[in-house]
């Protein structure tokens, strides 16, 4: 007999949800954060979808959201030209990082000490959260807005996807470009699965599965 699954429905947002991220497994379970054009990112219990709280403070659409591994910190990227870091336990705003344009993506290093951001100003920025007053490291090279950025290879490298139809791999220590993947249309999303061994990329009507070590395509799924 075929198994029937009923999806959980998480209501609360008033406009389109544009990004989701899960924490790691913690002693209290795992957690889900959602970014939405209503400007009110929400934290939920990951297995039930139960609402825990809303992070209030942005003055525009929130395009990206993430949690650190143990779900003690959250970060959000928004159209108000800021990225914010939050205490995910209390919901308090910890830090506001001003940018020169819309911020689209945020992600923590594994140790939660650094935050990577990217957005419409075409730059990747690395903030040292232990010294937030210091100027961030900046990586330039994309010719259009950055839509998604991820740490990889134990935070020694960075992957960035842009509206310039490329995904670029960067070396963190040298800040130099290591590899470029070129597509026939803008990449809409990318995520790691299977313990970081597979990179899933979506662009146009295609879902592509790449070997995360060699960045070669393993399989492609195209929708009509």
**Rounded Cα–Cα distance for residues 42 and 54 (Å):** 4
Residue with tokens 């959201």: 65
* Neighbouring-strand partners of residue 158: 151, 170
Long-range interactions of 142-145: CB distance < 8 A, separation 24+: 142/166, 142/168, 144/186, 145/102, 145/104, 145/119, 145/120, 145/121
How confident is the model over 32-72, as pLDDT tens digits?
Answer: 999 999 999 999 999 999 999 999 999 999 999 999 999 99
Average pLDDT score over residue span 153-164: 95
Mean pLDDT of 202-213: 90
User: Could you tell me which residues are beta bridge partners of residue 177?
Assistant: 170
Give yes or no for residue 154 having a pLDDT over 80: yes
Question: Per-domain residue ranges for the chain?
Answer: 17-182, 186-224
> How many CA atoms, within 13 angstroms, populate the side-chain half-sphere of residue 78?
26
State both tokens at 194: 């299977």
Contact call for residues 18 and 37 (beta carbons, < 8 A): yes
Q: Quote the pLDDT of residue 214.
A: 83
pLDDT above 80 (res 170): yes
Distances (CA, A) of 69 to 27, 112, 118, 122: 12, 8, 20, 27
pLDDT of residue 216: 80
**Quick one: CA torsion of 30, 210, 188, 84, rounded to 10 degrees?**
40
State which H helix or E strand residue 206 sits in.
strand 206-211
CATH of domain 17-182: 2.130.10.10
Instruction: Give tens-digit pLDDT for 99-151.
Output: 999 999 999 999 999 999 999 999 999 999 999 889 999 999 999 999 999 99
Q: Which residues is 220 bridged to in the sheet?
A: 208
Q: What is the mean pLDDT of residues 176-189?
A: 93
* Model pLDDT for residues 65-113, shown as the tens digit of each residue: 999 999 999 999 999 999 999 999 999 999 999 999 999 999 999 999 9
Q: Which residues contact 96 (CB under 8 A, 6 or more apart)?
A: 57, 82, 83, 84
Q: Of residues 1 and 154, which shows the higher confidence score?
A: 154
Dist. CA 85–CA 136, nearest whole Å: 15
Closest listed residue to residue 133, CA positions, set 104, 80, 95, 101:
95
- Is residue 89 within 8 Å of 70, Cβ to Cβ? no
Provide the sign of the torsion angle of the four alpha carbons 106, 108, 109, 110, taken in this order. negative
9: Cβ contacts below 8 Å, ≥ 6 apart: 49
Confidence tier at 194 by pLDDT (50, 70, 90) = low
Q: Token pair 């923590």 is at which residue?
A: 108
């Amino acid at each position: 007999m075929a198994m029937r699954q009923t999806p959980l429905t998480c209501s609360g947002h008033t406009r389109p949800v544009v990004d989701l991220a899960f924490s790691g497994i913690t002693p209290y379970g795992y957690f889900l954060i959602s970014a939405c054009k209503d400007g009110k990112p929400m934290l939920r219990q990951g297995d039930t979808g139960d609402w825990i709280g809303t992070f209030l403070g942005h003055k525009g659409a929130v395009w990206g959201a993430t949690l650190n591994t143990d779900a003690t910190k959250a970060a959000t990227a928004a159209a108000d030209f800021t990225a914010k870091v939050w205490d995910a336990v209390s919901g308090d705003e910890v830090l506001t990082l001003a940018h020169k344009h819309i911020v689209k993506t945020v992600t923590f290093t594994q140790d939660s000490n650094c935050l990577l951001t990217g957005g419409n100003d075409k730059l990747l920025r690395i903030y040292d959260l232990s010294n937030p007053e210091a100027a961030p490291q900046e990586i330039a090279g994309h010719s259009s807005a950055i839509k998604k950025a991820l740490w990889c290879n134990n935070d020694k490298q960075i992957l960035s996807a842009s509206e310039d139809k490329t995904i670029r791999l960067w070396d963190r220590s040298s800040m130099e470009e290591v590899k470029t993947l070129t597509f026939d249309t803008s990449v809409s999303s990318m995520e790691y699965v299977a313990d970081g061994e597979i990179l899933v990329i979506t662009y146009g009507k295609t879902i592509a599965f790449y070997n995360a070590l060699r960045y070669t395509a393993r399989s492609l799924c195209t929708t009509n």
